Structures are given as structure tokens and as C-alpha cells.
Amino acid sequence: MLSSFVGPTNIVSQASMSVIAEIRIPSDDFELGQILSLEQASAIELETLVPSGDLTVPLFWVYEPVENGFLDTVERYPTVNSVTEMDVFDDRMLIRLDWDASQDHLFQCILEHDGQILGATGSPEGWNFEIRFSSREGLRQCQDCCEDAHISLKITRIYNPTDPEAGPWYGLSEPQREALMLAIRMGYYDIPRGCTTAELANELGISDQAVTERLRRAIGTFGRYALFTPESEAQVD
């Protein structure tokens, strides 16, 4: 059943660093994407995961147009035990899906490698997932698992939100974040520039050279955490 939908709760050593990956997958490549067909809805969004006994049952928002036969189509799918209409509005409805995820190779790959699903949205172009892994190695192993299952998985962004030394701001230290935000507010990156490094230095109470170095390090750190995928990082390294 769906007992591990949100991922295992194994204790990870403090030396490990979790990563959050944003992943794009075609609807036809995994069972849930086939079950929640976008032929009868403009978009679908994971609302929450609700504990139900030994299971964790997902709630989804299904956005217009929602045809009358949508729920019937979903419920006829072999691995769906039930689908329940929770709330209905003019442009969307909230459904509760009781479904056996053990047949879905995507979810098995995620769960087997310490993945926790934080968010999911579906559109006619495919599904976007936000998934936390206990380590980059777990993410890489999940990629390999998906490749073996012939699932086209594309990572669009990856970042480390739990680095105890870096904090939650894409790896930026507090001084780096302060300097970068001030530079943006004062127009340092505008064309033409709205301020000089000397003016930033005066505001921060540090030297002109220190401002230049802090901004350089901030941009480098932000770019690595916000833009690099494992593949692109490997090319740089």
C-alpha cells in the first residue's frame, strides 16, 4: 500500500547533508501520472499527505476543467482502491486518493533511496516533484534506479537546505546574504549602477575590498547551490 509515501524515517548521521531536488518527469513514465490523467484537468497539485492507519494517503487539488467522469476514470484504475471527493469549488476540487504505490516504479525508486516527497504538481507538459534526499548519493542512486526502470527523470534544480554551517539561504552565510541583499536594494547590479562598493562598505561598516570579496563569494556560493545539478557540478569538478 502507501505506507512509505513520505519516505523512511531512518536516522542519518550528522555528517550527512540532505539535498532537495526539483525533478521533472513525463506523465506517461510513472503510474500516478497515468492514473491522474491531465486529459480531463488543466492541472493537479499535491495538497498534503494525511496519515490513515498504517498508510499515508495523498490529497490532490484537481483544477478545471474537471469533467464529471474524472473520478470514475481514476477509480477504475487497477491499483486504485478508492478516490474520494473532499471539497468542490467552481474551478477545482480536492480529492483523497487511496492507491497502491508499490506498483509505481518512480515512487519505489524514491522511497528505496531515502527520498521524501515535499511537493508535486502535474500539467499537460509533465509532472514536477520537489524531493528531499538524505544525501547526494541517495539522489544519484535514485536517478540510476529510474534509468533502469526507463523513467525519464530530469533534474531542474538541486540545493542543500540543511547544511548546519551554511544555513537555509542557498548556502549563503548571514554576512554574505546581508551584503548581497543590500547590493540589490541599493542598485549595485543595475545598469547604470545605483551605488558603488565604497557606499556599500560604508553601510556595512567594512572596507571596500571586503565588500568586493564578500559579494564575489556570495555570488559563487548562491550559483552553486541554486543552479547546479549533479551532472553540471561533475563537469565543473
**Average pLDDT over the chain, rounded to whole?**
80
Looking at the fold, whether 214 and 107 belong to one and the same domain comes out as no
Looking at the fold, whether 121 and 210 belong to one and the same domain comes out as no
Higher-scoring residue by pLDDT: 224, 195: 195
Average pLDDT rounded to a whole number, residues 72-91: 89
The pLDDT score that the predictor gives to residue 156 is 85
Average pLDDT rounded to a whole number, residues 169-176: 74
Looking at the fold, whether 100 and 207 belong to one and the same domain comes out as no
Domain membership of residue 182 (yes or no) is: yes
Domain membership of residue 166 (yes or no) is: no
Looking at the fold, whether 39 and 119 belong to one and the same domain comes out as yes
Looking at the fold, whether 178 and 103 belong to one and the same domain comes out as no
Looking at the fold, whether 38 and 102 belong to one and the same domain comes out as yes
Residue 15 has pLDDT above 70, yes or no: no
Domain boundary among 109, 124, 159: 159
Domain membership of residue 138 (yes or no) is: yes
Structural domain harbouring 201: 174-236
Confidence of residue 183 (pLDDT cuts 50, 70, 90): very high
Higher-scoring residue by pLDDT: 113, 234: 113
Residue 89 has pLDDT above 50, yes or no: yes
Is 165 strand, coil or helix?
coil
Looking at the fold, whether 63 and 180 belong to one and the same domain comes out as no
The pLDDT score that the predictor gives to residue 231 is 47
Query: In the structure grid, which three cell numbers stand for residue 76, read together?
Result: 477504475
Domain membership of residue 12 (yes or no) is: no
Domain boundary among 159, 187, 207: 159
Domain membership of residue 91 (yes or no) is: yes
Looking at the fold, whether 34 and 147 belong to one and the same domain comes out as yes
Average pLDDT rounded to a whole number, residues 121-133: 89
Q: Tell me: the pLDDT tens digits for 24-78? A: 999 999 999 999 987 767 789 988 765 555 556 788 988 875 666 788 889 999 9
Residues facing residue 158 across a β-bridge: 21
Q: Tell me: the pLDDT tens digits for 215-236? A: 988 888 777 666 654 444 444 4
Looking at the fold, whether 179 and 215 belong to one and the same domain comes out as yes
Domain boundary among 159, 182, 207: 159
Domain membership of residue 169 (yes or no) is: no
Looking at the fold, whether 51 and 155 belong to one and the same domain comes out as yes
Buried b / exposed e over 185-217, threshold 16 CB at 10 Å, is ebebeeeeeebebebbbeebeeeeebbeebbeb
Looking at the fold, whether 65 and 101 belong to one and the same domain comes out as yes
The pLDDT score that the predictor gives to residue 8 is 40
Number of domains making up the chain: 2
Outline where the chain has alpha helix (H).
31-35, 70-75, 105-112, 136-148, 174-185, 197-204, 208-227, 230-236
Looking at the fold, whether 114 and 62 belong to one and the same domain comes out as yes
The pLDDT score that the predictor gives to residue 164 is 43
Residue 207 has pLDDT above 90, yes or no: no
Q: Tell me: the pLDDT tens digits for 102-112? A: 889 999 999 89
